[in-house]
Amino acid sequence: MRPRLSTLVSSLACLCLLPVVGQSAEPAAPLRQQVEVLQAGQMRVDKVKEGLYVVRGPFVPCTTRGCRPNGPDDGLIHEPGDVAIRATPEGLILIDDKYPENILEVLSQVRSVSSLPIRYLLNTHHHADHVSGNANLRALGIDIIGHRNIRENFLRIKQPGEPNIVFADEGALYLGGVEVRMLHYGNGHTNGDTIVYFPDLKTVHMGDLVIDGMPVIDYSAGGSAIAFVKTIDKLLELDFDTAIPGHGRVMTKAEVQAYRARFQEMNNRMRALAKKRFPREQLLSLDQARIQLKLADLGWENSVSTIAFMNSIGQYYDEMAAAP
């Protein structure tokens, strides 16, 4: 794995900012997110830690589902959700499975790291770019585990492949001496966001609670910007050093902390706009949203998820206007 610029920068910052008596030893995180600029390419598998892999890509232009006649083109390369593979002596645990058209390639990437069978599939949430391979895997006899709200969201929008095993807020799976925990800390991106925690590896898969881009709030599925930050706060209480996002490169815990800080800053800005009655309809324009929310400060002026974020900016305004 090549060294990440952000890791080098934070190492340098730690060398420069020695602790001073009476002050925090923690260097202030830079507000701007240094997102990875993706290049077009095939699906690939990367080793995260011993027994844990992430499947990235395919990396394609335009929207997350490729170029469409009427779809917005932000000029960026996109990828469906990050898939994780946890290998145990008794078989594999898969986390998410991308789009249905990706499933054969996902299975091929799985086979490239282990010949053991996939025993369970876990879902981080119900969105199509993460779990549309579910029906194919269920047809192979693989059990799918998800928060009960994930199953309800599948059924509500008539999406095939709903989880057949559910839990309420916290679940755990023990296979081959490996513990995998599933944690729902509240609403955020959706009402079913599940953090998959590998305590022995001090690693989490965060689903779309944290991505290498700006946060997206799915109000149609119980998403909430205010609850989102609180959920990330609870995630940060876990003992981990490595974090797989819903989309993009593997992150450090410091990067997740920085993500939380810039999300709170954006909430503060939106709340201030709503409280001074900045016209809601003007914010529906991407250009105005960029200016008024100062998205460039956050590194989110043209991230892979900025267009998706804009789909709910009116509801975001309404939520912050109603906030105390």
**Is there binding between residue 98 and Zn ion (CB under 5 A)?**
no
Q: How many residues bind Zn ion (CB under 5 A)?
A: 2
**Is there binding between residue 147 and Zn ion (CB under 5 A)?**
no
**Is there binding between residue 127 and Zn ion (CB under 5 A)?**
yes
Q: How far is the CB of 183 from Zn ion (least distance, A)?
A: 17
Return the range that interacts with Zn ion (CB under 5 A); candidates 48-56, 106-114, 124-132, 237-245. Answer: 124-132
Return the range that interacts with Zn ion (CB under 5 A); candidates 98-106, 204-212, 274-282, 291-299. Answer: 204-212
**In contact, 214 and 305? CB cutoff 8 Å:** yes
Q: How far is the CB of 10 from Zn ion (least distance, A)?
A: 27
**Is there binding between residue 126 and Zn ion (CB under 5 A)?**
no
Return the range that interacts with Zn ion (CB under 5 A); candidates 206-214, 257-265, 268-276, 316-324. Answer: 206-214
Return the range that interacts with Zn ion (CB under 5 A); candidates 120-128, 163-171, 179-187, 280-288. Answer: 120-128
**Is there binding between residue 208 and Zn ion (CB under 5 A)?**
yes
Q: Given the complex with Zn ion, which of 127 and 260 has the nearer CB atom? A: 127
Separation between Cα atoms, residue 292 and residue 213, nearest integer Å? 18
**Is there binding between residue 97 and Zn ion (CB under 5 A)?**
no
Q: How far is the CB of 143 from Zn ion (least distance, A)?
A: 22
**Is there binding between residue 262 and Zn ion (CB under 5 A)?**
no
Separation between Cα atoms, residue 194 and residue 125, nearest integer Å? 7
**Is there binding between residue 247 and Zn ion (CB under 5 A)?**
no
Q: Which residues bind Zn ion (CB under 5 A)?
A: 127, 208
